Amino acid sequence: MASLDLHRQASNLGSPSWAKPVLLARITTHPDLPECAGCGRCCHLVVELRDGDWVPEPLVAEHYGARCMDQHGDGACVALDPVTRLCTIYDIRPLTCRVFTRGELLCRRILGRHPTPG
Protein backbone atom coordinates (compact mmCIF):
# COMPACT_ATOMS: atom_id res chain seq x y z
CA MET A 1 0.00 0.00 0.00
CA ALA A 2 2.80 2.47 0.88
CA SER A 3 4.50 1.81 -2.46
CA LEU A 4 1.27 2.62 -4.29
CA ASP A 5 0.94 5.90 -2.40
CA LEU A 6 4.56 6.79 -3.18
CA HIS A 7 3.99 5.98 -6.83
CA ARG A 8 0.99 8.31 -6.88
CA GLN A 9 3.12 11.03 -5.29
CA ALA A 10 5.91 10.46 -7.82
CA SER A 11 3.36 10.69 -10.63
CA ASN A 12 2.30 14.13 -9.40
CA LEU A 13 5.81 15.58 -9.56
CA GLY A 14 5.52 16.50 -13.21
CA SER A 15 8.64 14.59 -14.21
CA PRO A 16 8.82 12.84 -17.59
CA SER A 17 7.17 9.41 -17.62
CA TRP A 18 10.51 7.66 -18.19
CA ALA A 19 11.88 9.21 -14.96
CA LYS A 20 9.05 8.07 -12.69
CA PRO A 21 10.40 4.52 -12.05
CA VAL A 22 13.82 6.04 -11.26
CA LEU A 23 12.23 8.57 -8.92
CA LEU A 24 10.16 5.87 -7.23
CA ALA A 25 13.31 3.79 -6.66
CA ARG A 26 15.07 6.81 -5.12
CA ILE A 27 12.14 7.35 -2.77
CA THR A 28 11.88 3.75 -1.60
CA THR A 29 15.50 2.59 -1.34
CA HIS A 30 16.43 4.02 2.07
CA PRO A 31 15.44 1.40 4.67
CA ASP A 32 17.34 3.32 7.37
CA LEU A 33 15.01 6.33 7.06
CA PRO A 34 11.40 6.84 8.11
CA GLU A 35 8.78 6.99 5.37
CA CYS A 36 8.28 10.48 3.92
CA ALA A 37 4.55 10.46 4.52
CA GLY A 38 3.98 11.39 8.13
CA CYS A 39 7.57 12.44 8.89
CA GLY A 40 7.32 16.19 8.26
CA ARG A 41 10.82 17.02 9.48
CA CYS A 42 11.76 18.76 6.20
CA CYS A 43 8.63 20.88 6.64
CA HIS A 44 10.42 22.83 9.37
CA LEU A 45 12.82 24.47 6.90
CA VAL A 46 12.27 27.95 5.48
CA VAL A 47 10.94 27.52 1.93
CA GLU A 48 11.45 30.48 -0.34
CA LEU A 49 8.84 30.69 -3.08
CA ARG A 50 10.17 30.74 -6.65
CA ASP A 51 8.75 32.20 -9.83
CA GLY A 52 5.87 29.96 -10.88
CA ASP A 53 5.04 28.79 -7.36
CA TRP A 54 1.45 29.46 -6.47
CA VAL A 55 0.22 29.00 -2.94
CA PRO A 56 -2.67 30.80 -1.27
CA GLU A 57 -1.56 34.19 0.06
CA PRO A 58 -2.63 33.47 3.65
CA LEU A 59 0.14 30.80 3.69
CA VAL A 60 2.83 33.25 2.54
CA ALA A 61 5.12 35.38 4.70
CA GLU A 62 7.95 37.72 3.85
CA HIS A 63 11.42 37.04 5.27
CA TYR A 64 14.09 39.64 4.53
CA GLY A 65 12.28 40.72 1.37
CA ALA A 66 11.72 37.18 0.05
CA ARG A 67 8.32 35.52 -0.24
CA CYS A 68 8.33 32.27 1.75
CA MET A 69 5.93 29.71 3.12
CA ASP A 70 4.77 30.97 6.51
CA GLN A 71 5.67 28.97 9.61
CA HIS A 72 4.13 28.33 13.00
CA GLY A 73 5.98 29.25 16.20
CA ASP A 74 7.60 25.80 16.30
CA GLY A 75 8.98 26.32 12.78
CA ALA A 76 6.51 23.99 11.07
CA CYS A 77 5.18 25.07 7.69
CA VAL A 78 1.61 26.32 7.93
CA ALA A 79 0.65 23.81 5.24
CA LEU A 80 1.80 20.85 7.37
CA ASP A 81 -1.14 19.14 9.06
CA PRO A 82 -0.14 18.84 12.74
CA VAL A 83 -1.96 15.53 13.20
CA THR A 84 -1.19 13.57 10.02
CA ARG A 85 2.15 15.32 9.34
CA LEU A 86 1.11 15.50 5.67
CA CYS A 87 1.12 18.52 3.37
CA THR A 88 -2.32 20.08 3.04
CA ILE A 89 -1.39 21.69 -0.31
CA TYR A 90 0.50 18.68 -1.73
CA ASP A 91 -0.81 19.12 -5.29
CA ILE A 92 0.32 22.77 -5.45
CA ARG A 93 3.31 22.65 -3.08
CA PRO A 94 6.27 24.88 -3.99
CA LEU A 95 8.98 23.64 -6.35
CA THR A 96 11.48 23.50 -3.47
CA CYS A 97 9.24 20.94 -1.78
CA ARG A 98 8.67 19.03 -5.03
CA VAL A 99 12.37 18.49 -5.65
CA PHE A 100 13.36 17.70 -2.05
CA THR A 101 14.37 14.04 -2.14
CA ARG A 102 14.14 11.49 0.64
CA GLY A 103 17.63 10.28 1.49
CA GLU A 104 19.50 13.28 0.08
CA LEU A 105 22.17 14.90 2.25
CA LEU A 106 19.86 17.60 3.66
CA CYS A 107 17.21 15.00 4.52
CA ARG A 108 19.81 12.93 6.36
CA ARG A 109 21.11 15.98 8.22
CA ILE A 110 17.61 16.92 9.35
CA LEU A 111 17.09 13.38 10.63
CA GLY A 112 20.54 13.21 12.23
CA ARG A 113 21.60 10.33 9.99
CA HIS A 114 24.96 9.85 8.36
CA PRO A 115 25.16 9.97 4.56
CA THR A 116 25.20 6.59 2.88
CA PRO A 117 28.38 5.72 0.97
CA GLY A 118 28.35 5.95 -2.80
What is the per-residue pLDDT for 20? Answer: 45
Q: Report the distance separating Cα 30 and Cα 47, nearest Å.
A: 24
What is the per-residue pLDDT for 114? Answer: 75
What is the per-residue pLDDT for 93? Answer: 96
Which percentage of the chain shows pLDDT scores above 90?
A: 50
Closest residue by Cα to residue 88 from 65, 56, 49: 56
pTM (2 d.p.) = 0.69
Going from N- to C-terminal start, the domains of the chain cover 2-111
CA distance to 14, 23, 29, 86, per residue, from 91 (Å):
10, 17, 24, 12
| Average pLDDT value for residue range 27-50 | 84
* Structural contact between residues 10 and 27, judged by C-beta atoms closer than 8 angstroms: yes
Rg (CA), the chain: 15
